[in-house]
Amino acid sequence: MSDLTDFEAMVVGHPQLVMTPLQAMFAEAEEELRAECPDGFEVHEIVERAFFQLPEAEREAARRELNTVYWEARIADEANLAHSDELQAQRQELRRLLGRFEDLAQGSGMVPYALLAEIARLSLPLMGTAS
């Protein structure tokens, strides 16, 4: 017989959601601003309110957290941009091959199997069905 409750058994092995003081202050600041400004507000208002409401003793850790998040986001943006550039190059090559296919299909020429295979190879990743 297990000593775990049903809930404990369900969550065992799953990371617990623990908010840092900064995350808690961000959530609180966002909630306050949504109530105060139903027509909207700027993101920097959340940051300023959250950061400056933190106790002085927690600000250094929050500053480090903000720096880490910033750099992680920047690295992710660079990776996404590189992936986007790669996909753009694949799209351009696919357009070129589809143009060649169209020319051959409209004419009396045979469409080479290699051309069809190359079109399929480029199409699948762009459609999200292949890695």
Q: What average pLDDT score do residues 117-129 get?
A: 83
Backbone phi, then psi, for 19, in 5-degree steps? -85, 135
- Tell me the CA distances in angstroms from 87 to 8, 73, 111, 123, 127, one per residue in order: 44, 21, 25, 10, 11
Sequence length of the chain is 131
The pLDDT tens digits of the residues spanning 20-70 come to 888 888 899 999 999 999 999 998 899 888 888 888 888 888 889 888 988
What's this model's pTM, rounded to 2 decimal places? 0.49
> Which amino acid, one-letter code, is at 104?
L
Contact 101, 119 (CB under 8 A): yes
Predicted local confidence at residue 114, as pLDDT: 92
CB atoms within 10 A of CB 40: 8
Dist. CA 111–CA 118, nearest whole Å: 12
- Looking up tokens 């590189």, which residue turns up? 82
H or E stretch covering 104 = helix 56-106
